[in-house]
Amino acid sequence: MKITHIHDLVARQAVQSPAALSIIDFDGRTYSYAVHQAAIEQAGVILRDHGVQQGDRVLLVAENCIVVTAFIFAASQTGAICVPVNARMTQAELDRVLDHATPRLVVYTTQASSEAATHAKRAVAATRMTDFGEFALITHSASNPVDDDETAVILYTTGTTGTPKGVMLTHANLIFAGKTSANLRQMTPEDRLYGVLPLNHVFGLASMLMAASYCGASVQLATRFQPARVFAALSDGVTIFPGVPQMHALLMQYTHEQGLERLENSKLHYVSSGAAPLDPAWKRKAEAFYGIALQNGYGMTESTAGICGTRNPKGLADTSVGPALPGIKIKLDLNVGAQGDDMTGEILTHGPHVMKGYFRNMVETAKVIDEDGWLRTGDLGAIDAQGQLHVVGRCKELIIRSGFNVYPPEVEAALNDDPDVIQSAVIGRAVEGSNEEILAFVQCADPAAIDLVRLEALAASRLASYKRPSRIIPVTALPAAATGKILKHKLLSTFATLLAETHPKD
């Protein structure tokens, strides 16, 4: 069967292995590939009954459940474009997406999400019960079909600026990403992924759902990250766990609180961490906990998730994100972020993973994709002699202190080495004299009990004087996206009161 659209992935598995497990829903219900395909077809009928046609947008206000997967693939089957968004958005945030995307239909996953139910009630959406679950939907009168048979989904991303942009990912983008992720992990139909990464985020959509559908594996969906449930799933058949550092850190903390130091009786053969750099000490701790190698990777929404990935054996000290994945090119623009003989520059990438562009925003598209198809990532990195990429931070997060470049991940790695620190986030803030102070926010179980003197000594032992934090601010939690990725642009506003009370060191 020829695969040209993302719905072909599930359709192929439904023909070849109809009884094979496809989805374990958030509430424990199981769906074979044949039953999953039936749900997709039923969702397709609903779309057509509500006037959805080629080029229309279908917006999903959702948390992870089979309703999301059914409508993502049904939109593809109908020739429409799916726009999945996080149900935990505020009404103002959702309204901005609605105004920009102008969907024909809005679907709310009310059974899986109380936030989606609240949005549905406000919109006076009609409840619908089907064989694959309950949801609500409403026709949006502002729809305007576009002449586009390439785009499969639009993912709205704020990046570090807070301004949403609609990333258009094509069917070819997502099929390539699914195949590449499956091959990187050496996935088979026997694999089961733990699917807590949101399907409205590129990591969950491409590296989980598309990868599993490509090779006939299954996904165990979870609406939210809950350490106890993750621990239970990893002890009961899950073989692949893609996550972000915060998830791994909180899972290890939970396990320690249960009197255990490592994961037992697990069938895991692949664990990965993305969205933030690793440091050697934390990597060793995670590998001891899981009993297998912790793989690292790098990607972004505009690159359909993956750009680079590791295939390291357990115990290797490498903290790079690996080489470029097959079929993908990377290079550096040394005119961005370079200092002296520093070989650090902005990371550029080229290949079948690069987005089509930003929806209705040609100006911003032209800023990040050049005429030869190279995508500017906005991230700073270096490429070593083995061709492996080391990501050192965001271009806009680079801190200039006393004339020196300071990369936040290096400072964070030093602080994360403290046993009482779950994770940290470092940013720069302008001070007098065109200089910047370094602010370090450290997440810990009990901020009042953290030993700041010990933390400062740890930083002094690991970092040059100009890299050491001006202030260390202990907190119970850091502002984060649904994926667990820290939202650094919200740190100053979130902790404004603490900053006013905390004074810099002499």
Q: What CATH code is carried by the domain that includes residue 35?
A: 3.40.50.980
Q: Is residue 18 part of a domain?
A: no
Q: Is residue 25 part of a domain?
A: no
Query: Do 154 and 274 sit in the same domain of this protein?
Result: no
**How far is the C-alpha of 467 from the C-alpha of 457, rounded, in Å?**
13
Query: Do 335 and 443 sit in the same domain of this protein?
Result: no
Cross-strand partners of 136: 108, 127
Rg over alpha carbons for the chain, rounded to the nearest Å, is 23
Cross-strand partners of 270: 240
What mean pLDDT is predicted for residues 452-457? 91
Query: Do 277 and 263 sit in the same domain of this protein?
Result: yes
- Give the domain-ending residue among 348, 370, 395: 395
Comparison of pLDDT for 263 and 276, the residue scoring more: 263
Helix axes 91-101, 114-123, angle to 10 degrees: 60
The number of beta carbons lying within 10 Å of the beta carbon of residue 162 is: 9
Whether 480 and 245 have beta carbons less than 8 Å apart is answered as no
Whether 411 and 438 have beta carbons less than 8 Å apart is answered as yes
CA atoms within 13 A of residue 446's CA, in its CB half-sphere: 4
Whether 357 and 304 have beta carbons less than 8 Å apart is answered as no
Q: Is residue 199 part of a domain?
A: no
Confidence band for 341, pLDDT divided at 50, 70 and 90: very low
Query: Do 353 and 430 sit in the same domain of this protein?
Result: no
pLDDT at 61: 97
Decide: helix, strand or coil at residue 330.
strand
**β-pairing, 133-139 with 126-130?**
antiparallel
Whether 125 and 137 have beta carbons less than 8 Å apart is answered as yes
Residue type, 183: N
Q: Which residue has the tokens 């807070």?
A: 162
Residue by residue, DSSP assigns 423-442 as: EEEEEEEEETTTEEEEEEEE
- Give the domain-ending residue among 395, 422, 457: 395
Cross-strand partners of 287: none
Residue type, 470: S
Is 473 a residue whose pLDDT tops 90? Answer: yes
What mean pLDDT is predicted for residues 84-101? 90
Decide: helix, strand or coil at residue 273.
strand
Q: Two tokens at 20?
A: 């094979």
461: domain CATH number is 3.30.300.30
Q: Is residue 176 part of a domain?
A: no
CA 101 to chain centroid, in Å, comes to 21
The rounded mean pLDDT for the chain is 90
Query: Do 358 and 256 sit in the same domain of this protein?
Result: yes
Confidence band for 128, pLDDT divided at 50, 70 and 90: very high
What mean pLDDT is predicted for residues 185-208? 95
Whether 329 and 377 have beta carbons less than 8 Å apart is answered as no
pLDDT at 393: 75
pLDDT at 506: 38
Is 340 a residue whose pLDDT tops 60? Answer: no
Query: Do 344 and 358 sit in the same domain of this protein?
Result: yes
Q: Is residue 131 part of a domain?
A: yes
Comparison of pLDDT for 336 and 56, the residue scoring more: 56
Query: Do 419 and 488 sit in the same domain of this protein?
Result: yes
Cross-strand partners of 346: 333, 380
Query: Do 245 and 288 sit in the same domain of this protein?
Result: yes
End-to-end alpha carbon distance in the chain: 69
Which percentage of the chain shows pLDDT scores above 70?
93
**How far is the C-alpha of 104 from the C-alpha of 122, rounded, in Å?**
18
What mean pLDDT is predicted for residues 2-13? 97
Helix (H) or strand (E) segment spanning residue 414: helix 408-416
Query: Do 83 and 160 sit in the same domain of this protein?
Result: yes
CA 405 to chain centroid, in Å, comes to 27
Comparison of pLDDT for 177 and 490, the residue scoring more: 177
Q: Is residue 7 part of a domain?
A: no
Comparison of pLDDT for 35 and 247, the residue scoring more: 35
The number of beta carbons lying within 10 Å of the beta carbon of residue 400 is: 14
Is 334 a residue whose pLDDT tops 90? Answer: no
Query: Do 405 and 382 sit in the same domain of this protein?
Result: no
Residue type, 300: M
Query: Do 445 and 333 sit in the same domain of this protein?
Result: no
What mean pLDDT is predicted for residues 185-189? 97
Could you tell me the residue range of the domain that residue 259 belongs to? 225-395
Is 449 a residue whose pLDDT tops 90? Answer: no
- Give the domain-ending residue among 141, 170, 199: 170
Is 162 a residue whose pLDDT tops 80? Answer: no
Query: b/e map of 31-44 (b: 16 or more CB within 10 Å)?
Result: bbbbbbbbbbbebb
pLDDT at 161: 46
pLDDT at 56: 95
**How far is the C-alpha of 234 from the C-alpha of 254, rounded, in Å?**
13
363: domain CATH number is 3.40.50.12780
pLDDT at 116: 97
Q: Two tokens at 485?
A: 């990725």
**How far is the C-alpha of 345 from the C-alpha of 343, rounded, in Å?**
7
pLDDT at 502: 55
pLDDT at 398: 72
Region of poorest pLDDT, from 37-51, 174-188, 460-474 = 460-474
Measured at the CA of 199, the angle between CA 297 and CA 369, to 5 degrees, comes to: 60
pLDDT at 405: 67
Closest CA to 171 of 85, 76, 103: 76
Q: Is residue 96 part of a domain?
A: yes
What mean pLDDT is predicted for residues 234-247? 89
Query: Do 380 and 418 sit in the same domain of this protein?
Result: no
70 phi, psi to nearest 5 deg: -60, -45
Domain count, the chain: 3
Q: Is residue 202 part of a domain?
A: no
